């Protein structure tokens, strides 16, 4: 099963978008499922107030955890750059990054989750924040 398929499967089990993406990225982050699900628990629904999409939040958390910056300023800069790439990818594909706007436009959560997992994996494996 691919990473994005695993993320969508988690959604079918009732987990929020952020939980699905972060948990599915476990092979890159080193987080076990229970920890990933706990960390991302409050980020669904745009941090429960319609703001930044949970799939984006999950992808950004996964990118940060995978970089494991531990105070390394150059690694922190890479995470910042990869975060910008993540939000830009969502904006380019879906026209928005806010949950409330994405829902209003009828974008299904499964599509956002799959794209978030795929984007996180691509950025983590290339690891470049150019």
In the structure encoding, which two tokens stand for residue 84, read together?
């910008």
In the structure encoding, which two tokens stand for residue 119, read together?
């984007």
pLDDT in tens, 102-114: 999 999 999 999 9
Instruction: Report the pLDDT value the prediction gives residue 127, as an integer from 0 to 100.
Output: 74
Instruction: Report the pLDDT value the prediction gives residue 130, as an integer from 0 to 100.
Output: 47
Over pLDDT 90: what percentage of the chain? 88
**What is the domain partition of the chain in residue ranges?**
3-125
Instruction: Report the pLDDT value the prediction gives residue 53, as an integer from 0 to 100.
Output: 98
CA distances from 128 to 72, 93, 95, 101, 102 (A): 15, 21, 24, 29, 28
Query: Are residues 59 and 84 in contact, defined by beta-carbon separation less than 8 angstroms?
Result: no
Burial (CB count <10 Å: 0-12, 13-18, 19+), residue 86: buried
Query: Looking at the predicted structure, is the pLDDT value of residue 129 above 70?
Result: no
Per the confidence metrics, is the pTM higher than 0.85?
Answer: yes
Instruction: Report the pLDDT value the prediction gives residue 71, as an integer from 0 to 100.
Output: 74
Q: Which of 9-13, 19-23, 77-81, 87-91 has the lowest mean pLDDT?
A: 77-81
Instruction: Report the pLDDT value the prediction gives residue 72, as an integer from 0 to 100.
Output: 79
Instruction: Report the pLDDT value the prediction gives residue 128, as an integer from 0 to 100.
Output: 58
């Amino acid at each position: 099963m691919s990473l994005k398929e695993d993320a969508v499967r988690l959604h079918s089990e009732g987990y929020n978008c952020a939980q699905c993406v972060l948990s599915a990225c476990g092979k890159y982050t080193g987080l076990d499922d229970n920890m990933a699900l706990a960390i991302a628990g409050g980020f669904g629904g745009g941090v429960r107030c319609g703001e930044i999409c949970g799939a984006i939040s999950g992808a950004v958390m996964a990118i940060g955890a995978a970089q494991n910056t531990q105070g390394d300023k150059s690694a922190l800069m890479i995470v910042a750059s990869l975060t910008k790439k993540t939000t830009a990818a969502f904006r380019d594909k879906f026209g928005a990054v806010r949950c409330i706007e994405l829902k209003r436009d009828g974008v299904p959560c499964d599509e956002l989750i799959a794209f978030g997992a795929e984007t996180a994996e691509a950025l983590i494996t290339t690891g470049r924040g150019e």
